[in-house]
Chain A
Amino acid sequence: MKSNWLRSMMLNVMTVSVVCLGWSQASFGGVVDTGYLIESEARDASLARVEAFLARQDVERQLLSLGVDPAVVVERIGGMSNAELIALEGKIQNQIVGSDAIAVIGVVFLVLLILELVGVTDVFTAI
């Protein structure tokens, strides 16, 4: 819970700095800069946190009840841009902060949100 709170506060800071560093081409004749490695590590950590959320039993149950294969969602999230990933993680953190157990309505909301963000649109026509 401590880390959740912290993370949501720091997310703003990270958003700015990741955008600032980003992938800057060739400051010194084609050298890939240090920010590249930082960005890719931050991305991996962020992906791991989102995947941990998707692996929660209540979330998985919700996905399955909507006829969505959680593995497909994980794959789609892997294809998100850094900005999209940060936005998604921010939304998840905002829901989780302050409570270890999200209310059922929160889970449904987040699952729908994730599905919309990753573009599993056929789910909505099925509902």
Chain B
Amino acid sequence: MPALFALLAGCASIPEQASRLPAGAGGVELVETPFYPQERYQCGPAALATLLDMSGVSVSLPAVTEQVYIPQLRGSLQAELIAATRNAGRVPYVIDPELSALAEELRAGRAVLVLQNLGVAALPRWHYAVVIGIDPAGNEVVLRSGVDRRRVTPKKTFLRTWARSGFWAMTVIRPDELPARADRLRYFESVAALEQVGQLDAAEAGWRTALSEWPDDRVVLFGLGNVQFAKGDWAGAERHYRALLALAPGLAAVRNNLALSLAYQSRFAESLEEIARGLRDTSDPRLRDELRASMDDVLALREEHPNQLPAAESP
């Protein structure tokens, strides 16, 4: 029985790591934060509209609601908020599950969307709200929440409701800025996802911003090359793939993409050389399949464009 009690107590306690706030971290309130009072059950759209508006996206609450509100659930899923942020050409970034990380975002001038459970574990009442400030003493949290333009909540209460979501919180980052405390791979994943939803300009801007923070980073160079490839900028893509291969010659995946960027510039011989080099460099069966498929594509492309063969071979 004592063991069980300890277990229950363990669940209810807030880890010190999550609640700690360094001296001077508070004393910020983003008073200019817009306010979108929520309609019934529609806290997700209201909170997201607030952040998108703040990051310079022109939004209307009905349009955001259309994107993220699921009537059957009477709410929105976190994945929906993230997807809608990407569709608006912004980088959704899930911050570290700590109050100090939240405070750092506020200090950088960005409000933070948090998921709270205002009920109890047995009878959950999930709610999205926007944190806009922390008082100088670090005892109170200021929110745009529901129909309250300025709700002041004791830090303890806030932490208790936030803890039940695993301290889930996200910010909306413009592609030309970085999170206050950016976890490299987590941030890169979010930028790469912009490529996949076709937000190519935003993705390119995101990678360029990342390059200033992480110069010569492999993932960033690859991302930049891939965005340029997707945009049909074969020469730009080639440049970044080559820069990356100069740093890491063994990356056969990059050889594959370089080969394709060369083929689209009708440089078929060079392209096939890169594929052959890639096949020598990797034993990964998936990559080898990919390289062989690329070789077929390059050969087919050469067939289709015989008029673009080097001049010496023309009649």
Contacts and interface: CB of A to CB of B under 8 A. Distances in A.
A2 B222 CA distance: 31
Interface in A34-50: 34-38, 41-42, 45
A30 B17 contact: no
Given A10-B183, A35-B192, A37-B253, A27 B15 contact: no
A6 B219 contact: no
Contacts of A26: 293
Contacts of A30: 256, 260, 290, 293-294, 297
A21 interface: yes
B188 interface: yes
A10 B96 CA distance: 8
B226 interface: yes
B229 interface: yes
Nearest to A3: B17
A44 to B, nearest CB: 11
Contacts of A41: 185, 218-219
A126 interface: no
A56 B98 CA distance: 29
B257 A37 contact: no
Contact of A32 (B15, B166, B219, B256): B256
A51 interface: no
Interface residues of A, number: 33
A109 interface: no
B296 to A, nearest CB: 9
A25 B110 CA distance: 36
B253 A32 contact: yes
A33 B196 contact: yes
Contacts of A27: 195-196, 230
Nearest to A42: B185
B173 interface: no
B186 interface: yes
B305 interface: no
Given A27-B196, A29-B297, A31-B260, A14 B186 contact: yes
B97 A6 contact: yes
Contacts of B183: 10
Given A17-B189, A21-B196, A34-B195, 19 more contacts: A9-B166, A10-B96, A17-B193, A21-B189, A23-B286, A24-B196, A25-B290, A27-B195, A28-B229, A29-B260, A31-B229, A31-B230, A31-B256, A32-B253, A32-B290, A33-B192, A38-B185, A38-B188, A98-B15
Interface of B: 15, 17-18, 79, 94, 96-98, 166-167, 183, 185-186, 188-190, 192-193, 195-196, 218-219, 222-223, 226, 229-230, 251, 253-254, 256-257, 260, 286-287, 290, 293-294, 297
23 contacts: A6-B17, A6-B97, A13-B186, A17-B190, A21-B189, A21-B196, A26-B293, A30-B260, A31-B226, A31-B229, A31-B230, A32-B257, A33-B192, A34-B188, A34-B192, A34-B219, A34-B223, A35-B196, A36-B253, A37-B251, A38-B192, A42-B185, A45-B185
Top 4 closest pairs, chain A to chain B, by CB: A34-B192, A32-B253, A34-B223, A9-B97
Interface of A: 2, 5-6, 9-10, 12-14, 16-18, 20-21, 23-38, 41-42, 45, 98
